[in-house]
Every structure is written in structure tokens, then in C-alpha cells.
Structure 1
Amino acid sequence: MAKGKSGNGDKDKAGLAALSPFELKDELIKAAGGGAVARPANASMLNAGRGNPNFLATIPRHGFWQLGLFAMRESERSFAYMPEGVGGFPKREGLTERFELFVRENKGVPGISFLAGAVSYVRDQLGLSAGDFLYEMCEGILASNYPVPDRMLKLSELIVGQYLRREMIGEHPFVGEFDVFAVEGGTAAMTYIFNTMRENHLIKPGDTIALGMPIFTPYIEIPRLNDYQLNVVNLNAAVENNWQYSKKELDKLRDPKVKAFFLVNPSNPPSVRINDESLEYIAEIVKERPDLILLTDDVYGTFADNFVSLFALAPKNTILVYSYSKYFGATGWRLGTIATHRDNVLDRLIGELPKEAKKELHHRYESITTEPDKLKFIDRLVADSRTVALNHTAGLSTPQQVQMVLFSLFSLMDTPDAYKNALKRLIRSRKKALFEEIGLTFPDDDENQVDYYTILDMEYLGERAFGREFVDWLLKNTEPQELLFRLAADARVVLLPGLGFGTAHPSGRVSLANLNESDYRAIGRAVRKLIEEYVERFNSATGKKLDKSKVK
């Protein structure tokens, strides 16, 4: 990986530089799993690259399985005379009483008390029918019917909406109602939103959008695709500014050429939530630019202290994307949501399209509604997700929606935030262990730090520890990805390149969610060893005498 090589080596470097960090991860894993460096037979690779958590919420999962058993008992009440294993739909009449009997019969079984509490919460706190809720959940978990309504099951949307209100809006004033579309994780949300914005002429090739950088890599890659061909303006959050956007960066949104602003909040990979001042500043810009579309991807918001989404401050201009994957340890479930205010800029802009564009869209959606011109943006998302023609079979699978509802109720019922606080303690203790072993200390009083990930910014940390001369030498004598490949090959530690997320400096993203505390200590020791080696090389090359032990 050293500079100065040519031929195939340069081609390899060019190819690696073009890879998404998630694809480069596979190359780093290969480097960590082989090579000429001798390793103990029991050495294990430490993959802190991808952000899949190693924790998960158990209580709502227990509830899911117990609900499934109850639903099966309900199904078997129909066609009971047939021995061939034929069941039917649950029966609405007497369902609540039979559920109460099921709870008494299974008292003490994991998940039962949670289910009983969930039904009580739905009835007593949300004011919904317990019988209607149980029927929707039983039919949903049996997967015995198409998702109806296709955007989201009726009571499920209300309950998930309450969860989003609590976690994304909190105590912030919020006027009006919003709609929710249940989707196959945050990745599906991104795909659907880009596509429907294009199909409805909200963005077109040559248009300009803004990205809050650094950001989840697909937001960088999608606009470049031939499907979209968008121009991108970057709003850069700086490590020197605690990963906050300056007013100068945010003022880029005042340019009328910028059609939309996409951001991840808290950020990925720095894991810092946008401070209140910046959120209010964006909301003020929106008042001046009421046509500006905002998309906020808030998957990490539930790990933050006192989180408030941009959706709360500028609801009529904002598309909210939220995924259950990280907080509940449910990446395999593929559970995500898209929410839009019922009075939103997207519907208004569609209504203001030129006559020819409206005619085209009328024809696009006329097979699914008698009033295609009045079809809301969020319902266009649903239709477009199934190429319009398959709109009648759209919708997230009903068992997925049931698990989403149970996750939501678990959080709503956890009034002291016991689960949330436990996760915060877990990941923050891991960060402390990592930096203790590197030999670095950080102030822990930044209320905007979330710590799901952390960034090892080699330029920023190197200058802080050893001065600018060392950093300039390091950048001149190493490739941006060399340090990552050295960690992989020598210490079997896999990190993702921060540059792939749009960071300004060479860096490594460390997920603090997917390994144990002792593993982060091992990663810290490996990083420190590598730093010390480069300090020795610097001293040898320059005749300086930096003290490698004085990392601070």
C-alpha cells in the first residue's frame, strides 16, 4: 500500500478508491482473514465496520411469538372438524375474552405480561378498541390477508404514529397530523423517495440538491446514477466544529437552485445530532424558501439525549425516514417508515406542475384511483413501489407490521426509558474503552454526541497529538486507505473508510454497536500500536524526536 508503486498496483488502488465503503469492507475482511502475517490459531477478526448491533430488544420479540401462538389457536377454531391441518381467519366475536383466558393460562411465560400490557395501553391510553387491535394483530401475524390499507394497517399506523411522535417530536409543538407508510427498512424508504420524486417531476436530471455531509454513502451515490443525474451541493459539518454545520454552510440552502436537502440526523458516521440552533436556523431558511423539500433520516435519533427531529420544526416541508433496525436490533426484519405531514410542500408542488406534466401523471395513476390528480405524494410512493400496476398488492408484509407495532408499544410503555438508557450506557462505555486504549481523552459533556459510531480522524487526531508537521508527513507518505489495510492485515481489525461517507480527512468509522467492550479495547491497542509505528517512521525520516507515548 506504500506510495510509489505503479502498474497493476495503481489500477488496484483506483479500483478500491471507487468502491463504496460497504464494498471496500469486503476487501478489508479479506485482508484481515489472510496474508503472510503469522497469527495465533485462535485469533479472531474484529469487524467494527458495518453497524449491525450485537444487542436486540427481547421483550417485544417474546410478545411476538406468544401472539403468534394465540393467533394460531384462534385460527384452529375454524375448520376444527378437519384433521388435515386446515385453519381459518380469526373470529372477531369474543376475541378479547379468549385473549384474557390465554393470558391467565400462560401467566409467567415470557412475553405474556407484555402482551397484556400492550392491549391495556392501546385501550386505555390510546383510546382504541382492544378487540379491533387484537383482530388486526392476529390476522396480521397469521399473514392470512393482503395488507389493507396497502400503505399500512389502520391501527398499526396510528400506533406507529404515536411512537414517532414520542421519539421524533417529543415535547416540541406540532400542529396537524401526519401519514405513515410502512416500508422494508430505511433502504427501501430511500429508494422509493428518490424514485417517486423523479416520477412526479420534483427532481429531474440537472437539478441541484444539497447533502448534509458526512452522510450515509447511498445518499452520495444515488444522485450520480444515470436514473437521476443530479447536481449536488455539499453542506459540510466539520470535526473542528464538533461535527456541526456552520451558518455559512447552511446558508447554501438559500440558493433557489437547491430543490431539496437530504441529511442524516444524528449523522452517520460521526453520530452527532444537529444542535438546536442549527435546526432552528434551517427552519428559518424554510420560511424564506417555502418550496424547499427536506428529507431527514433519523434512524439514530433514539440513541440521542432529548432528540427532536427537523420534522418537528419544519413538518410541512420535511419527509421523515425512520428505521427500527438499529434501536431494536432488527436489521433482518427490514422495518422502516416514511412520514409526511398531511399539509405538505410535496403535494403543493405536484399541484403546481405544468399542464403537460399533470396530464402525464394523471395517466400514470388513473388505473388506481378515479381522482389521480388528488393522489397524495405518500400514496404515490405506495403505488410507485409496486410500479403502479401492482398497487393492489402493495404494502409491507403484515407480520413485519405486527413486529413494528410491538416494538413501538414496547417503547411507548417504557415511560422511564429503561431500555433506551441501558443501550446508551452500553455503547458509551465501549467508546470510553476504545479511546482509553488509544490513549486519547474526549470531553463527555457534549449533549449532541450519540456514539453509535465514532470517527478516528487521522488528520485531526494526529495533529492534536503530534503536531501539524507529523500530519503533513503522514498524508504525504501514506495512501488514504493504507492505515485501514494495515489494521486489517496486521491486527485483524476492520473499520470503514470515513472518506466514503464524505468526511474531509482520511479516517476510519468504528461502529460501537456490534462488538463487546473487550473487543474495543483490543481495537484501541491495535490503533495505538499503528500510530506508534508511524511516529517511529516519522522520527527516522526527519530526525525528529516525537515521543510516541504522549498521545493525548
Structure 2
Amino acid sequence: MAKSTQSGSGDRAGMASLSPFELKDELIKAAGGGAVERPANLSMLNAGRGNPNFLATVPRHGFWQLGLFAMRESERSFAYMSEGVGGFPMHEGLEERFEIFARENKGVPGISFLLGAVSYVRDQLGLNAGDFLYEMCEGILGSNYPVPDRMLKLSEQIVAQYLRREMIGKHPFVGDFDVFAVEGGTAAMTYVFNTLRENFLISAGDTIALGTPIFTPYIEIPQLNDYKLNVVNLEADVANGWQFSKQELDKLRDPKVKAFFLVNPSNPPSVKMDTKSLEYIADIVKERPDLIILTDDVYGTFADDFVSLFALCPQNTILVYSYSKYFGATGWRLGAIATHRENVLDKQLAALSKEKRAQLHARYESITTEPDKLMFIDRLVAESRTVALNHTAGLSTPQQVQMALFSLFSLMDTPDAYKNALKRLIRSRKQALYREIGIAPEAKDENAVDYYAVLDMEYLGERRHGRELVEWIIDNTEPSEMLFRLAKEARVVLLPGRGFGTQHPSGRVSLANLNESDYVQIGRAIRKLMDEYIERYNKATGKKSDKAK
């Protein structure tokens, strides 16, 4: 039987090679949208983007009030000049002047948060309050280069404490780790892949493993001419709650696999790796102490009792975290890379051949007198600026200030009020979506995070309508037909799960970027489309429709 062409003109099959984020633009066009879509276009429901429509207000209020205080401090210097010239803040008496500023602005949003932040830094973290205020004031003014270039000194300690709470929790953790502040998770991915390659830790022809489904760039980057890596996929099973079987995890035992990359909780299934899997990987690492792991844990803060693989395998793991989703801060471009002080990366660098060590000595000798001792995380910093510009490396200081304030906001929120509010918000949206589609809610999965929902047509369709219908749809439609029909007919935009490495035809719905009433409409549109496919199937096979029975 010929494939259906109801998805509209154009070669849908030819779009199969597109990244889901590029295909999204085609779907937006099909929905009648323009190149740039904003929430103002209320007639189109774009659930394809992971950008949340919520954000943390308290630390932002704190940021703006801190900026006003910092400006007042700056204007104390060169006060005799009337041309609008300011200077660096003065450390002496800074705490006292901040207390005066806070009293003068009592009741203004953000002030009580800043007072609490100073107290927390001093009383709970044991840091000098005056030094903290000075770093924040100088940083928010952007009046100096980032020093140290990897991350501002106290900001790094604050962010490290935040990562300990959210990524490690109560799990035993021995030793310290370093943090590199970067321009979001995307920059972290770029710097890590590039630095691994430049330092001979991965080379063309090497094999890496990916925990799929996974954020699309982790699939696409290894294929680039820059890397030319062989990839082994560890496939999570939708029927097993999107967990990895032992058989899949055993692929990591192969000594050819140099590195393992995963997103946890997963994207798009939005499920955290269960404790059994984490512990199983930790056991494999004991047998394979050379294995390099990168875990991208951006959605970990939406999970219940999250524990990162970084907590169980700290010496083998590079932790990547972004503030974008949890704090509604994609535009801020805030991310962090963390590595344990004693890690397999530095050990492998020291064990490189004499020839390779000589090449790296020459590469880094312009930035340090002891290039052979340069830690991997500091090589990340250098590579982020092509080594030659290492002296101007580092995330902009206003960004680091906002990152520190976000971290303190979370650390001070001991009852997790903000976190629990976000969980209620997105889980209520999921219930509305599934209710309208007509999918009965499954038993609560303690590992489900619900930032996204994967509408797996093969799995969910078989549960609701039977295997014969599912096979008929697969045989008689192009992979993206349903997505284009939803876009064109219902103005609903989803992303194809295929581009994330899912094994079944599916669509990714972000539960973070629209309101609950919008998910009701999306659910109805999906159900209407499925009902039409059922009618076509019944006519093609001579079966009676549910209505006729």
C-alpha cells in the first residue's frame, strides 16, 4: 500500500535526517507561524520547546536590588566628578553601608532575600560577609575580568554547596570538587567534547556509549568531522519505565568504550535513573576504573530525592548542570561543570605517551609554567578560549552573581517550597494532557520527573487500541506525518521523539512552557487525530468502528 501524503506538500520523508530542533521550524511553518514565535501568538500551541513559562522571582528581585546598592557604592568613588564617572566598590565599611541600604529599603521586594543571603553565607557557609558583598558588588557591576577565570572564588563555593545539596544529597561523598561556570549546558557540552579531543582522551575512531533516548546534540556531535566517534547505544525501555536493563548497561564493560554520556533525568522521557541502575554502573566502574562518564543533570532538581551518578562515581564523572530550566533562566545562559579533585581524567593525562605529553606541553606552556600539571578542568577553561585567550576566559561576572543568588535562594529554601510548587505545576499539566487524550494514568512512578512527556505511539497506541492498529499506522504513514497534521490542522507543535534516539514513533511534549488549559487543547487535538486514524484503519480492514459496536 502506498504511503499516505495527507501530511501536506513537500518531502516529509526527506526531513527524517533533520534534527528535531530544526524540524520544529518546519512544523511551526506548517502551523502558520513565523520564523520567530513568541507567547503572543496564542493561536499556535508550541509544546516543542523545553523553555519553561515560569521563573524564580525572588532571586531576580535580589539581583536588581543588589545592582542598585552596587551602583551607589560605585558612585562613592569619583564623587567630585559630575560627568557620571564611578569607580570600584570600597571594601572597608561595606557591610555597614549595606545594612543602612537595607533599612532604607525595608519592604522592597528582594531586600529581605539579600539580608538572608548575607546571613546564610556568613552563618551557614562560614564565609566572610564583607568579602561576599564585595565580590557580588564588583561582579554585578561587571567592572573587572573574572578572577579567577574559572569562577569567582566565593561564587564557586556557593555553587558547589548548591550542587552538593541537589546532585549529591545525603549520599556519602568523600573529597572536594571544582566548578567551572559556563554559558549554559550547551557551552558545557561544547567545551567537554573539544577538551577531551584536544587532550587525546578521545580520538577519531574511538568508541563511546550514549544512554538513549538523549538530548539530540549528544547524538549529533560524535558524528561530526571534528570527532568521528563510533557510538554504542544503551537503550532505555519504555515498557520498563524508561530504565536501562542490566544487559544494556553491561555494554559499558567493553574496554573499547572509552566514555559514557547520559542525560539524567532523561530527555525526553523525563525519568531519573533508578537506584539499582546507578549502583550497577558504580559496580561496573569498579571493574573499569578507566571509564569516563559525563552526566548531564539539568532536570535533576525536578525529581524526588535525586542522586546523580556523580555522587556514586565521583572520580570518573564529569557533572554538567544548567540553571536554565529550574529557575526559568534560559536567557541568562548559566551552567556549571564539576569534576572531583582526584579524577580519572587527570590520571589519564599523566599516563599519556611521551610524544602526546610533549604536544600538550607545547599547547599549554603559554598559560602556565607547569603545563604537565594543568588539571583537566583548567584545560577546559583554556580551551573555552582557544588557549591563547585564556587570560580573558570566564563567564561574565554579572552572570556569576545571578548564578550565586539562584543557588542561595535554593539553599535557603529548606522546606523546598519553590521546588514543590514547580512539581505540582507540571504534574497537573501532565494529568490534564493525558486525561484529554484518553490515556488512563499509570501507577505513580517514583522516578518520573514529568518535565516532558513522550507520547510513544507504538507503546501507548498498543495499550489503548491493540497491536494491529499500531502496525497499520506504521505501515501507512511517514514518520513525521502525525506531527505535521497536528501542526497544520490543530496548530499544535510537538518534537519528534526519533531525533532523541527513541526506538518507536513518538512525539515529545514539553510540560513546562504552556498553561494547563493549553494542554487540554493539545490532548483533544491528539485524540481527534487518533480517532481519524482509527476510522481509516477500520475502513481499510473492514472492521467496525467503536461507535458502531
How far 1:4 moved relative to its partner?
4.3
User: For 1:390-539, what aligned pairs fall within 5 Å after superposition?
Assistant: 390-539=389-538
Instruction: Give the equivalent residue in structure 2 for 1:39.
Output: none
CA contact under 8 A between 1:48 and 1:511: conserved in structure 2?
yes
The residue type paired with residue 362 of structure 1 is H
Q: Map Cα deviations across residues 179-220 of structure 1 (whole Å, 9 max, x no partner).
A: 000000000000000000000000000000000000000000
The whole-number CA distance in structure 2 between the counterparts of 1:43 and 1:531 is 24
Instruction: Give the equivalent residue in structure 2 for 1:121.
Output: 120
How far 1:294 moved relative to its partner?
0.3
The whole-number CA distance in structure 1 between the counterparts of 2:305 and 2:3 is 50
User: What secondary structure does 2:459 align onto?
Assistant: helix
Asked if 1:363 is matched to 2:362, the reply is yes
Instruction: Give the equivalent residue in structure 2 for 1:330.
Output: 329
How far 1:34 moved relative to its partner?
6.8
Instruction: Give the equivalent residue in structure 1 for 2:267.
Output: 268
Asked if 1:16 is matched to 2:40, the reply is no
The whole-number CA distance in structure 1 between the counterparts of 2:324 and 2:143 is 25
The residue type paired with residue 194 of structure 1 is F
The whole-number CA distance in structure 2 between the counterparts of 1:209 and 1:418 is 39
Instruction: Give the equivalent residue in structure 1 for 2:289.
Output: 290
How far 1:11 moved relative to its partner?
7.9
User: What secondary structure does 1:234 align onto?
Assistant: strand
Asked if 1:105 is matched to 2:101, the reply is no
Instruction: Give the equivalent residue in structure 2 for 1:307.
Output: 306
Instruction: Give the equivalent residue in structure 2 for 1:259.
Output: 258
The whole-number CA distance in structure 2 between the counterparts of 1:3 and 1:382 is 54
User: What secondary structure does 1:535 align onto?
Assistant: helix
CA contact under 8 A between 2:302 and 2:326: conserved in structure 1?
yes
The residue type paired with residue 97 of structure 1 is E
User: For 1:28-107, what aligned pairs fall within 5 Å after superposition?
Assistant: 28-33=27-32, 44-107=43-106
Instruction: Give the equivalent residue in structure 2 for 1:240.
Output: 239
User: What secondary structure does 2:231 align onto?
Assistant: strand
User: For 1:125-204, what aligned pairs fall within 5 Å after superposition?
Assistant: 125-204=124-203
User: For 1:214-253, what aligned pairs fall within 5 Å after superposition?
Assistant: 214-253=213-252
CA contact under 8 A between 2:322 and 2:334: conserved in structure 1?
yes
Q: Map Cα deviations across residues 460-513 of structure 1 (whole Å, 9 max, x no partner).
A: 111111111111101000111000000000000000000000000010000000
The residue type paired with residue 523 of structure 1 is I
CA contact under 8 A between 1:385 and 1:394: conserved in structure 2?
yes
User: Structure 1, unaligned stretches of length 5 or more?
Assistant: 36-41
CA contact under 8 A between 2:426 and 2:512: conserved in structure 1?
yes
Q: Map Cα deviations across residues 150-185 of structure 1 (whole Å, 9 max, x no partner).
A: 000000000000000000000000000000000000
CA contact under 8 A between 2:264 and 2:272: conserved in structure 1?
yes
CA contact under 8 A between 2:13 and 2:480: conserved in structure 1?
no
The residue type paired with residue 99 of structure 1 is F
User: Structure 2, unaligned stretches of length 5 or more?
Assistant: 35-40
Moved more, 14-23 or 371-380: 14-23
User: What secondary structure does 1:179 align onto?
Assistant: strand
The whole-number CA distance in structure 1 between the counterparts of 2:2 and 2:144 is 61
The whole-number CA distance in structure 2 between the counterparts of 1:96 and 1:423 is 34
The whole-number CA distance in structure 2 between the counterparts of 1:390 and 1:15 is 42
Instruction: Give the equivalent residue in structure 2 for 1:318.
Output: 317
The whole-number CA distance in structure 1 between the counterparts of 2:61 and 2:310 is 32
User: What secondary structure does 1:182 align onto?
Assistant: strand
How far 1:5 moved relative to its partner?
7.9
The whole-number CA distance in structure 2 between the counterparts of 1:87 and 1:538 is 73
The whole-number CA distance in structure 1 between the counterparts of 2:472 and 2:10 is 24
CA contact under 8 A between 2:16 and 2:479: conserved in structure 1?
no
The whole-number CA distance in structure 2 between the counterparts of 1:545 and 1:404 is 59
CA contact under 8 A between 1:535 and 1:548: conserved in structure 2?
no
How far 1:441 moved relative to its partner?
1.5
Structure 1: which 4+ aligned runs deviate by more than 4 Å? 2-6
The residue type paired with residue 193 of structure 1 is V
CA-atom RMSD in angstroms = 1.6
How far 1:544 moved relative to its partner?
1.2
Q: Map Cα deviations across residues 83-142 of structure 1 (whole Å, 9 max, x no partner).
A: 000000000000000000000000000000000000000000000000000000000000
How far 1:545 moved relative to its partner?
2.2
How far 1:521 moved relative to its partner?
0.2
Q: Map Cα deviations across residues 428-457 of structure 1 (whole Å, 9 max, x no partner).
A: 000000000011122242100000000001
User: What secondary structure does 1:33 align onto?
Assistant: coil
The residue type paired with residue 306 of structure 2 is F
The residue type paired with residue 222 of structure 1 is I
The residue type paired with residue 536 of structure 1 is E
The whole-number CA distance in structure 1 between the counterparts of 2:482 and 2:492 is 11
How far 1:549 moved relative to its partner?
11
Q: Map Cα deviations across residues 226-260 of structure 1 (whole Å, 9 max, x no partner).
A: 00000000000011111000000000000000000
How many correspondences in the alignment?
A: 541
The residue type paired with residue 249 of structure 1 is E
How far 1:18 moved relative to its partner?
1.2
User: What secondary structure does 1:227 align onto?
Assistant: coil
CA contact under 8 A between 1:305 and 1:448: conserved in structure 2?
yes
The residue type paired with residue 55 of structure 2 is L
The whole-number CA distance in structure 1 between the counterparts of 2:469 and 2:212 is 27
User: What secondary structure does 1:148 align onto?
Assistant: coil
User: What secondary structure does 1:285 align onto?
Assistant: helix
Instruction: Give the equivalent residue in structure 2 for 1:38.
Output: none
The whole-number CA distance in structure 2 between the counterparts of 1:520 and 1:534 is 21
User: What secondary structure does 2:395 align onto?
Assistant: coil
How far 1:262 moved relative to its partner?
0.1
The whole-number CA distance in structure 2 between the counterparts of 1:232 and 1:325 is 28
CA contact under 8 A between 2:31 and 2:487: conserved in structure 1?
yes
User: What secondary structure does 2:12 align onto?
Assistant: helix
User: What secondary structure does 1:76 align onto?
Assistant: helix
CA contact under 8 A between 2:48 and 2:508: conserved in structure 1?
yes
The whole-number CA distance in structure 2 between the counterparts of 1:11 and 1:376 is 51
User: What secondary structure does 1:306 align onto?
Assistant: coil
CA contact under 8 A between 1:63 and 1:112: conserved in structure 2?
yes
CA contact under 8 A between 2:4 and 2:477: conserved in structure 1?
no
How far 1:13 moved relative to its partner?
3.1
CA contact under 8 A between 1:185 and 1:334: conserved in structure 2?
yes
User: What secondary structure does 1:87 align onto?
Assistant: coil
The whole-number CA distance in structure 1 between the counterparts of 2:47 and 2:127 is 43
